[in-house]
Amino acid sequence: MLFSSITFLFLFLPIMLAVYYIAPPQWKNLLLLAGSLIFYAWGGEPVYIILMILSILLNYFCGMDIENKSENEAKAKRSLVFAITVNIVLLVFFKYFGFLVESTNTLFGISIPYRELALPIGISFYTFQEISYIVDVYRGKVKAQQSLVKYALYVSMFPQLVAGPIVCYGDIEKQLTARKISGRKLGQGAMLFIIGLSKKAVLANTLGKIFEEISSTSASNLTVLMAWLGCITYAFQIYFDFSGYSDMAIGLGRMFGFEFKKNFDVPYISKSITEFWRRWHISLSSWFREYVYIPLGGNHVTISRNIVNLLIVWMLTGMWHGAAWNFIVWGIYYGVVLVLEKYVWGGQLWIGGQVYCSIFMH
């Protein structure tokens, strides 16, 4: 179920808001959880609810186990490694299995048969949220959540489940227990939702049609002006589509009393690639920095090691966006540019390069 669909706008959302606002406080989390599970089942393969529930149970109990073993670092670390491994294996299997088999067949000239699996909706987002949760419990940044309903709501909350932003547990820990709902917040959330819906339905969809027309033009009839127009419309289609969904998610969260952090901050005005990635999909960049880049050593290593760390992070960032070689190339491209910008150009590269490299995403 898409936020821009008639079913969501005129059936699911009004019913959810009405039931949620008239329900007593002690029932709100349970009602929002039930609604989120219905939303998830309606929007994709209902059988994948089982996968999500199993993932929730795994990380819920692992979080408590890690906290209980906090005085024994070796045991706590083993529980952490186990939980992270299972999360990554599930993500790799459902999102990358077909890509890995196809790549193996092509590379070695063999023919390993496999069945194409439907990608569980939101698995990249809720997997990253759960990994951040258990890592933060291990680090002692947050306490393990004792309520299964509250933890399940954190993972499955429908506003941010499909397209983010990636919400770290510490950012909404207190809101899961107590949050304010009011007519003012409802109105603010509705305004953000309408702005996001306009970005998606009006701007992104219109630009997408222009790009489709240009991309379907034969090379012999394609002019330089049309090619540049295609690159620019595609770059802005991506921005308005993704930032639109983020605005809708943040608006929906506020309508239900939750405050999510901003995920886009006018990225195309950036003066460098580094600044761009501080403004574009902020929650993803922050996640990779906090849970991959810093554990690898961050800046507190030799220059050669730092370069390797950056390339690893950006290769993984490319893979996160999609299971295809063009996404991996796109990620490595950014990694190389960021390394050059950090150690050669001094952070003065114009962001116009984003318009060019966005074509890798297609």
Closest C-alpha to 253, from 55, 59, 20, 22? 20
Q: What CA–CA distances, in Å, run from 311 to 84, 235, 260?
A: 21, 23, 29
Give me the pLDDT at residue 127, please.
94
Task: Match 């790549």 to its residue by tokens.
Answer: 103
In this structure, the number of other CB atoms found within 10 A of the CB of residue 47 comes to 10
Q: Is residue 246 within 8 Å of 196, Cβ to Cβ?
A: yes
- pLDDT tens-digit map of 84-124: 999 999 999 989 888 888 888 888 888 888 777 778 888 99
Over 70: is that where the pLDDT of 348 sits?
Answer: no
Q: pLDDT: is 308 or 44 the higher one? A: 308
| pLDDT of 234 over the 60 cut | yes
Highest mean pLDDT pick, 36-45, 61-70, 264-273: 61-70
Position 352 scores a pLDDT of 45
CB–CB of 91/123 below 8 Å? yes
Helix extents (H) in 162-271:
169-177, 183-198, 205-215, 224-255
% of residues, the chain, pLDDT over 70? 94
**Taking a C-beta distance cutoff of 8 angstroms, is the pair 85, 155 a contact?**
no
pLDDT confidence of residue 294: 92
Q: What is the CA radius of gyration of the chain?
A: 22
151-189 per-residue burial string, b: 16 or more CB within 10 A, e: under 16: bbbbbbbbbbbbbbbbbbbebbbebbeebebeeebbeeb
**Residue 296 pLDDT:** 92
Q: Averaged over 34-40, what is the pLDDT?
A: 91
- As a whole number, mean pLDDT of residues 327-355 equals 75
| Overall average pLDDT of the 124-145 stretch | 95
* Residue 300 annotated in active site: no
Lowest mean pLDDT among 43-52, 67-76, 299-308, 348-357: 348-357
Question: Residue 189 and residue 42: Cα distance in Å, rounded?
Answer: 23
pLDDT band at 346 (very low <50, low <70, confident <90, very high): low
> Lowest-confidence range among 74-83, 303-312, 336-345?
336-345
What pLDDT, on a 0 to 100 scale, did the predictor assign at position 30? Answer: 95
Mean of per-residue pLDDT scores for the chain: 89
Region 124-136 average pLDDT: 95
- What is the C-alpha to C-alpha distance for residues 87 and 151, in angstroms, rounded to an integer? 16
Of 281, 300, 321, 362, catalytic: 321
Q: What pLDDT score was predicted for residue 43?
A: 67
* Angle CA 357–282–159, to nearest 5: 110
d(CA 326, CA 359): 10
Residue whose C-alpha is closest to residue 84's, from 65, 120, 64, 58: 58
For 294-324, b where at least 16 C-beta lie within 10 A, e where not — what string? eeeeeeeeeeeebbbbbbbbbbebbbbbbbb
pLDDT of 351 reads 44
| pLDDT tens by residue, 156-167 | 999 988 777 999
Q: Which residue has the higher pLDDT, 139 or 221?
A: 139
Average pLDDT over residues 170-199: 93
**pLDDT for 349 beyond 60:** no
Residue with tokens 């796109």: 330
Is cis: bond before 295, omega within 30 of 0?
Answer: no
